[in-house]
Amino acid sequence: MQDNGLAYRLALGVAKKQTNQKAHGHYPAPIRAIEALRAGMLGSAQAGFTAESCAVAELAEHPVTTELMRLFFLREDSKTPPRDLTLPIRPDSISNAAVIGAGQMGAGIARLLAERGIWVRLKDVKPEFVARGIGTIRKLTNSEVRRRRMTELQAQTLFDHLSPTTDYRGLRHAEIVIEAVLEEIPIKQQVFRELADATSPSTVLATNTSSLLVRDIAAGVPHPERVVGLHFFNPPHQMPLVEVVRTDQTSPEALATALALVQRIGKTPVVVRDCAGFLVNRLLTPYLNEVGYLLAEGAAPMDIERAAIGFGFPMGPIELTELVGIDVAAHVAENMHRAYGSHMQPAGIWGRLQELRRERKTGSEKLIEQTWRGRRLNPFFRHALAQVRKGNGGHAQAFTQEVLIQRLVYPIINEAARCLDEGIVERPEHIDLAMVFGTGFAPFRGGPLRYADHVEVASIVETLDRFAADHPRLAPCEAIRRLAATNQTFLEPVPKAPSAAVAC
């Protein structure tokens, strides 16, 4: 393409269009980079260098740069142990581990450990279950090799570190065992009782539960102080966050070992206190609940999706609900309702939609389809939604994007205030880190608490009070009311954007 101005313009135009489609205008740096290329390719080398210098100077003080740098330092700071943990975190101390349960999550966790050079026993109750787990690992690893993200030698070394089994032999040498079986308390308690007999007294026993209380799982273990939660997010090879869950009985040694493992495999740990849903799922539940209420009230599904993506979420909440699984999301929502009461009452619309799906035998159809014209509502979903609304006496109505965002995001902030008040995390910054790395909450906004401070807490409380007149579940909690009443922020004051652009 040398000296071909038309080709340059075409390539740069395509690059800019693709960048805008992915970044939705939230990240200025890629566009400025393209503009610097344009100046150099269509002008002169000096013009390109000047444009680059100007872009760097201006972007260095841009609010998005500030938020992304803050998240980077928060991630680095996550390697620092909690204030009350005086033991050192030694990632190199983890050399042997085991994973119980060779399903999708268990296999993914075992692969992560083996890839980092940890010797792993992968156990399940039947040979075919173990074989399926190894097959899952092989499929993912082969894909990585094809994409040249891993060499053949690295892949072979990974499998050399895996040892499939159907019994508990060889677990006494493990520094840590991670349970990843079905989300049912009796099954998990039985596994932990068996692990207590099969492992060394110093072996840390970790559960990957996402919705059960760690203390309930540890109830039948002779030494519950060695039990922790390690909540990996799905898929574990892609999601950077791991919630490290401590109970009131968890020993410093067990916590230090769990943190060492998370650091060893290159993940970002956030230490949380044991509670229903831990941190991320607890904050995500009111967000997903509110989608159901908005749909029942007449909000257009695609308006909700566009509002969430426009705000900065990687996908809309309806697509996320379907990705998680409507039945799974409904089950988690019921657990949260039992644990926290009326403000977590789930919307009934999802259960009714699932009933209609089963009646029409359309369970495999997606609620939102991708067509050559773009994303659109599945005709079944449109018809079913109309039926559900008719049954509730509702009808389609328009919501502004601002109201949709307030209904979706403000409940997250409200619940975050409760978590801080209960001491679920040590620092408010951990909430921002967990939500960005665990859910994809708009990184350029810095996280829900950073966003709340930007909007102003008093404004959020006023809006929630207005919503609560019709929807009592949205009433502001006492913790966020106290902040608003004293004109406080969750975090340090938000830096102001530069008053004037750098002259170039």
Position 1 scores a pLDDT of 46
Cross-strand pairs, 165: 123
Query: Residue 195 region, left (φ>0) first, then alpha (ψ -120 to 50), else beta?
Result: alpha
Please give the Cα distance from 360 to 380 (Å, whole number). 9
- Structural domains of the chain, with CATH: 5-60 (no CATH), 94-273 (3.40.50.720), 279-504 (1.10.1040.50)
**Whats the size of the chain, residue-wise?**
504
Please give the Cα distance from 244 to 430 (Å, whole number). 12
Three-state DSSP at 177 gives strand
Please give the Cα distance from 418 to 285 (Å, whole number). 14
Please give the Cα distance from 215 to 202 (Å, whole number). 19
Please give the Cα distance from 474 to 145 (Å, whole number). 48
Q: Catalytic amino acids?
A: 231
Please give the Cα distance from 184 to 123 (Å, whole number). 18
Position 363 scores a pLDDT of 53
Please give the Cα distance from 67 to 75 (Å, whole number). 12
Walking along the chain (504 residues) 10 residues at a time, the average pLDDT comes out as 70 85 86 88 88 90 93 94 92 95 96 97 96 97 95 96 94 96 93 95 95 92 95 93 97 97 97 96 95 90 93 93 83 89 88 72 66 75 78 74 97 98 97 97 96 97 97 97 96 61 58
Buried b / exposed e along 316-350 (16+ C-beta atoms within 10 A): bbbbbbbebebeebbebbebbbeebeebbbbbebb
Position 220 scores a pLDDT of 81
Residues 6+ apart with CB under 8 A from 215: 224, 247, 248, 249, 274
Note whether 310 and 401 are within 8 A (CB). yes
DSSP structural state of residue 163 = E
Q: Report in angstroms the alpha-carbon separations of 38 from 7, 12, 46, 60, 359.
A: 12, 7, 12, 21, 57
Q: Residue 211: phi, psi to the nearest 5?
A: -135, -5
Q: What is the dihedral of CA 227, 137, 330, 353, to 10 degrees?
A: -170
Note whether 259 and 244 are within 8 A (CB). yes
Tokens 């049954």 belong to residue = 391
Please give the Cα distance from 280 to 294 (Å, whole number). 22
